[in-house]
């Protein structure tokens, strides 16, 4: 039996992953943005050990979620599932002056990785859209460019893979991997999504808890339990370190070796 924490797990793939883990006999701690969603999450998965509550659009919220998660002890695995979609308007800013899309998709997994007690396995949610993105580390928060929500989303999913690989490189005692869940009909994906919803959550669960030797790896990128090609920029160590430095500067927390 493993103990697993899943961010962004009040609905969609995060909740589905939690339900599957619970069915398999694992202990699951879920996360919801606010108390109302937490109540809905508890009703959807009453066997969850706990529901952590916090808004990942703010650095204070990220710190609170990490603190609450740590109160439950060290986890065997953490699945960084929380994310927002490309429809977020540029004009919206968080309390920290950041685009919510960047705050939730890029900065939050970084901050939570640093602040949550180091687990045995880390799983990050990326997207196939990352292949068409550039890291654009000189304009992470879109101050210099005209806003393009789809491109901004793709960039954050490249950042997630870069974080995955940076952690794999710096923390050899942790299995750090990324997942492409596919375009599935979640609230974010929309009703027109064409990929298999039932497969969208299974790979992250497999990477988090499986005894299958194929899941005992680090620095991998998977789609439906199989490795898949990635954007070469993600593997550039210099770019990874630049992204980690930028996240340190913006959040005030540093990823240790």
Mean pLDDT, the chain, integer: 93
Among 173, 178, 168, 181, residue whose Cα is nearest residue 244: 168
Q: Which residues contact 116 (CB under 8 A, 6 or more apart)?
A: 5, 66, 69, 70, 75, 78
> What does the pLDDT read at residue 182?
64
| pTM: predicted TM-score of the whole model, two decimal places | 0.94
Which of helix, strand or coil describes residue 77? Answer: strand
Q: Is residue 186 part of a domain?
A: yes
Q: What's the total number of domains in the chain? A: 1
Q: Is residue 257 part of a domain?
A: no
Structure tokens at 256: 């240790």
Residue range of the domain that includes 234: 3-251
> What does the pLDDT read at residue 88?
59
> What does the pLDDT read at residue 200?
78
Q: Is residue 256 part of a domain?
A: no
Residue 16 has pLDDT above 50, yes or no: yes
> What does the pLDDT read at residue 91?
61
Which is it for strands 121-125 and 175-179: parallel, antiparallel or unpaired?
parallel
Q: Is residue 212 part of a domain?
A: yes
CA distance 197 to 176: 24
Active site residue 124: no
Q: Is residue 29 part of a domain?
A: yes
Q: What digits encode the pLDDT tens for the residues 202-214?
A: 999 999 999 999 9
Whether 247 and 107 have beta carbons less than 8 Å apart is answered as yes
Q: What digits encode the pLDDT tens for the residues 65-98?
A: 999 999 999 999 999 999 998 765 566 899 999 9
> What does the pLDDT read at residue 185?
42
> What does the pLDDT read at residue 193?
42
Active site residue 93: no
User: Hey, which bits of the chain come out as E strands?
Assistant: 3-6, 27-32, 50-53, 77-80, 121-125, 175-179, 221-223, 226-227
> Which of 86, 93, 110, 153 is flagged as catalytic?
153
Residue 60 has pLDDT above 90, yes or no: yes
CATH no. for residue 45? Answer: 3.40.50.720
Whether 43 and 10 have beta carbons less than 8 Å apart is answered as no
Residue 50 has pLDDT above 90, yes or no: yes
Residue 184 has pLDDT above 90, yes or no: no
Q: What digits encode the pLDDT tens for the residues 114-155?
A: 999 999 999 999 999 999 999 999 999 999 999 999 999 999
Percent of the chain scored above 70 by pLDDT?
Answer: 91
């Amino acid at each position: 039996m493993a103990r697993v924490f899943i961010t962004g797990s009040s609905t969609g793939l995060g909740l589905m992953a939690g339900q599957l883990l619970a069915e398999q006999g694992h202990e699951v701690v879920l996360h919801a943005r606010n108390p109302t969603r937490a109540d809905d999450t508890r009703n959807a998965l009453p066997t969850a050990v706990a529901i952590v509550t916090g808004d990942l659009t703010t650095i204070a919220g990220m710190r609170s979620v990490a603190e609450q998660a740590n109160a439950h002890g060290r986890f065997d695995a953490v699945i960084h599932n929380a994310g927002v979609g490309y429809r977020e308007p540029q004009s919206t800013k968080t309390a920290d002056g950041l685009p919510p899309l960047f705050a939730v998709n890029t900065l939050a997994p970084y901050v939570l990785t640093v602040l949550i007690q180091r687990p045995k396995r880390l799983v990050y949610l990326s997207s196939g859209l990352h292949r068409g993105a550039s890291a654009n580390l000189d304009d992470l928060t879109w101050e210099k460019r005209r806003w393009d929500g789809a491109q901004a989303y793709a960039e954050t999913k490249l950042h997630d893979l870069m974080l995955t690989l940076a952690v794999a490189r710096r923390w050899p005692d942790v299995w750090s991997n990324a997942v492409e869940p596919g375009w599935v009909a979640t609230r974010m994906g929309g009703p027109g999504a064409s990929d298999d919803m039932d497969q969208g959550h299974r790979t992250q669960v497999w990477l988090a808890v499986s005894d299958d030797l194929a899941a005992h790896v680090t620095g991998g990128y998977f789609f439906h339990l199989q490795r898949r090609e990635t954007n070469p920029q993600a593997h550039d160590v210099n770019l990874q370190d630049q992204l980690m430095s930028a996240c340190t500067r913006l959040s005030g927390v540093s990823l240790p070796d």
